[in-house]
Structure 1
C-alpha cells in the first residue's frame, strides 16, 4: 500500500523550516517534533504527515467507536487530535461553556505522504498512488526557501483575558471548598486568553514559539482552517507493542539566567511538599486508569516526581507503565484513560464535573491530545498545553493555561503559576521576544 524510501538527512533547524514551508501547500499537515530532547521513550526524532487520502471528523457522540472503526479499517498511519470534550463520550458529562474556536471534537486523517525522521536519516512512506512524486517532492524540499520563517505576524495580537484575576481567585476558593467537603482531592482549573478578529501567520508563529520553548512534544497542526501551534512538554500516552506508558506533569517552577540560582529552584521544586503531593495524586490516578486495561500486576511507576528542565520552566514528571494484551484495541487504551489525569483531577469524574461548573470557556482541543497511530496500532500522543489554537475562518486566537488545586493551594500563587505558563504564548503573539 505504501512505497518506502530511506534517505540520509540532517534534521537541523534550517531543514526543519524548509520542510514546514514545503508542507504549507497541503490542507492537512501534522508535524511532531522532539526538538532533540533526550528521553528514554523516543521512537522518532520527528514526524511529518501531509495531504489527506481519507479523514474522520466528528462530534463527541460515539466518537471513540468511530475512531476505532476508522483506525482498524484503514490499518494504516493516521494522524490527528482528540479534544478534551471527548470526556462526554466516556462518561455522562457535558460541555456547555462558551466556545470561540469551534474545532471539531475529533479529527484524524490518513496521509498520502509521511516522513519519519531519525538522527541522520528519513524514511518516506508514500501511498502507492503518489509514489512517483517522491523524487520531485524531495527536490522541492531541498530548494525550499527558509528565510520567510523569521517573518513576524501581521500585527501584534491584542490578548483579552476571559477570567479576571479576582474571578480566578474566587474560582480557586470554590475548588478549595469542594476539597474541604471531600468532593475531590485535586482539580485542574484553567482560564482562556483570546483575541477576536485577529489574523496570524500560523507557521511563523509556531516557529517563534518553538524557538523559545524547544519542548519534546512540539506540534504544528493544520487541518484546513484549524491550527494548533503547540510547545507541549508533556506526553499523554504511548503504546509500543504491548507496552503502554504515560508521563503526567504536575509541578512547575520558573527558570532564571543565573545557573546556580536556577539549579536551586529546580532542587526546591523536587522537595516542595505541595508540588510532590499534586504529582503523586495524579500518578496514582494514572496507575488506576492503566490498571483497568493492564495485565495483572504489570502496572509500574518507573519514575516518581522526577525533575525535567526545559527552556522556559522546570517540571516535575512521573512515568507509569504497564503491559496490555497484544490483541487489546489501541483505541480502547485511549478510551479507558481519557482525558489525562494531569488536566482533570482526582477523583476524575467529580473533578471534571466541578471544572465544567467553574471554568468560563469550553476547553476544546486545549488539554486534549495530538498524535498518531501506526499501521500496527502503536501510538503516541501529547497533552495539548502551552499551545496557541487558531480558527482562521473565524479569526479567533486562543490559548489557555491552568494550575492544579489541592488543599495546600494559595490562590494568588496559583494565578502566578498560570501567568508563568502563559508567558511564551503572550510573547510570541505580542512580538515581545
Structure 2
C-alpha cells in the first residue's frame, strides 16, 4: 500500500491510498455488489492501435450522485462521505449566477438553473445557464493533476433540448432522467495491457473532517424481474418504420435535410441480473466502451463501438461510425462483404457527411488549422458486425475544455443526422417514443481535464423487469426502406 498527498488547485487537501491487487480477481469486489448497489463498471476490451487500449474501472457505493431532469438537479449524499463533501459543493453553488433557485439540506443540494435568454454562438454553449454550469463548478472545485478522481455516468439525449429550440412532441415518463453521474472516492483500476491492478482511495479533507476509505453504504436495491417468455415487442407496427424511411427520402429530395437517423425500440421481459447480461456482452461482443451502470431503480448495460468524444491534454478526438454489414459465415464471405461495404457509394456518402459535421463541430472550439482526419473509412470488425470508421482530431483552443467538447458535439451526426437541428426535430416528430439514454453518451470526466465517453448504443435499459434496446439507421435519399428496417433489427 502506498499513500501520497496532494492539494486541488483550490487548496483542498487529498490523501491518495493505492493498494496493488491481483489483476485476475481485482474486480470481484465490484462484481459481488454491483447488482444491488449503485455503482459503475466500465470496460474497454477491444484494442485498436492509436485509438483504443484495454482497461477496466469499477466502483460501488459512490459518495455523491448528480441527477438532473430538464432545468432541475439534485446532488445527493449516498453515505457519510457524501454528507461531508456536500458543504464544499454548497459553497461553490450557493449564489451561483446561473442558478434560479438553490436549497441545501444535510443530505442533498437541489436547484433549478436559470433559463437561457436570447441567441448565443455555438462555441459559447457551456457559458449558458444549464446543468453543465453545475458540472463545471464541481470540476473547478476539485481540479488537480490527479487522474481517476472525477464524475462517472451517463448523459441522456434530452439534454440537447436545453440548447436547441426544438419542440417536444412526446410526453416524457416521470422517472426519466437527463443525466446521472457519480462521484466515487474508492475505485478499482485494471490495466489489461500490463496486467496490473490496484484500488485507489481518495481521502478528501472537508469542514466536517476527512472522508473515510472503503465506506459501504449498506443501501441495496432489489432487482425487479419479469416473466421472460421470449416475446419481443417493438414500438413500431409492421411496415410503419418503412413508411417513415420513405418520408425521410422525400424530405431529402425536397432539400429539408441531408440525412436523418431514425430508431425504433424493442423490449422484452427480463429475468436475469445486470451483471450476468454485462458478462455475456463482454464475452460475445468485445467493445471499446462496455459498461454496467446501476442507478438504483434502473440500470444501463451496453457494449458500444463508437467514441463520442475523448479529450486528453487538449487533444479532442471523435471516431464517427457509419456503414454496417453483418460478419459472414466464413472468412471469404466476410471479405466479400467488406469489399462491398468499401465499394458502396451510399455508405461512403453517409460517413463523409458525418465526418464533415464532426469537423465543423470541432472547428468552433479548436485552434484554427488543427482539425484533421487521422484515418479514413477504417474497418472495425466486431463479433457480428463490421463498420467503417473515420478518426478525427483537433487541438482545443486555450479557453475550452472537455465540457465544451461534449456540448459542441451534442449530439453526434451519426445518431441524429444533418443538419442537426432539423434532423433532431424530425426524430422527435417521427419516432414513437422518447430516446431517454439512447444516443447520449456514457463515460467519465476526470477533474484533471481528461474525458472519455462512448455513444450510448448497443445499450440495454433495465427497469422494473423489462429490458429495452433501441437501434437506428442512417437514412438518405438513396435508402431502401426494407433494408434500413432490417438494419435496425440486425443491430
Matched residue, 1:63: 131
Task: Name stretches of at least 5 consecutive residues in structure 1 with no aligned partner.
Answer: 137-151, 422-433
Matched, 1:183 2:256: yes
Aligned partner (choices 176, 187, 192) of residue 103 of structure 1: 176
Task: Name stretches of at least 5 consecutive residues in structure 2 with no aligned partner.
Answer: 1-13, 72-129, 144-148, 204-209, 217-224
Aligned residues: 399
1:102 CA displacement: 3.5
Residues 30-179 of structure 1: matches in 2 within 5 Å?
A: 30-42=40-52, 45-61=55-71, 62-75=130-143, 76-97=149-170, 99=172, 102-118=175-191, 119=193, 120-128=195-203, 132-133=213-214, 155-179=228-252
Choose between structure 1 and 2 for higher RCO, CA contacts under 8 A separated by at least 6 residues: 1
The alignment partner of 1:414 has SS state of helix
Residues 122 and 95 (structure 1), Cα distance of their counterparts in 2 relative to 1, 3 Å cut: farther
Aligned partner (choices 405, 408, 416) of residue 478 of structure 2: 408
1:237 CA displacement: 0.6
Contact 2:306 2:321 in 1 (8 A): yes
- TM-score, normalising length: structure 2: 0.76
Contact 2:169 2:429 in 1 (8 A): no
Residues 156 and 216 (structure 1), Cα distance of their counterparts in 2 relative to 1, 3 Å cut: farther
The alignment's C-alpha RMSD in Å is 2.3
Residues 16 and 388 (structure 1), Cα distance of their counterparts in 2 relative to 1, 3 Å cut: farther
Matched residue, 1:215: 287
Contact 2:314 2:401 in 1 (8 A): no
Matched, 1:5 2:18: yes
Structure 1, residues 172-230: CA drift from partner, whole Å, max 9, x if none? 1111111111010001010011236x544211122122222111211111111221110
1:123 CA displacement: 3.5
Residues 124 and 397 (structure 1), Cα distance of their counterparts in 2 relative to 1, 3 Å cut: same
Contact 1:185 1:406 in 2 (8 A): yes
The alignment partner of 1:165 has SS state of coil
Aligned partner (choices 383, 393, 397) of residue 311 of structure 1: 383
Residues 38 and 227 (structure 1), Cα distance of their counterparts in 2 relative to 1, 3 Å cut: same
Could you tell me how far apart the structure 2 residues matched to 1:296 and 1:73 are? 30
Matched residue, 2:490: 420
- TM-score, normalising length: structure 1: 0.86
Instruction: Tell me which moved more, 271-280 or 108-117.
Output: 108-117
Could you tell me how far apart the structure 2 residues matched to 1:8 and 1:200 are? 29
The alignment partner of 2:161 has SS state of helix
Contact 1:280 1:304 in 2 (8 A): no
Contact 1:78 1:110 in 2 (8 A): yes
Could you tell me how far apart the structure 1 residues matched to 2:54 and 2:284 are? 22
Q: Which has the higher helix share?
A: 1
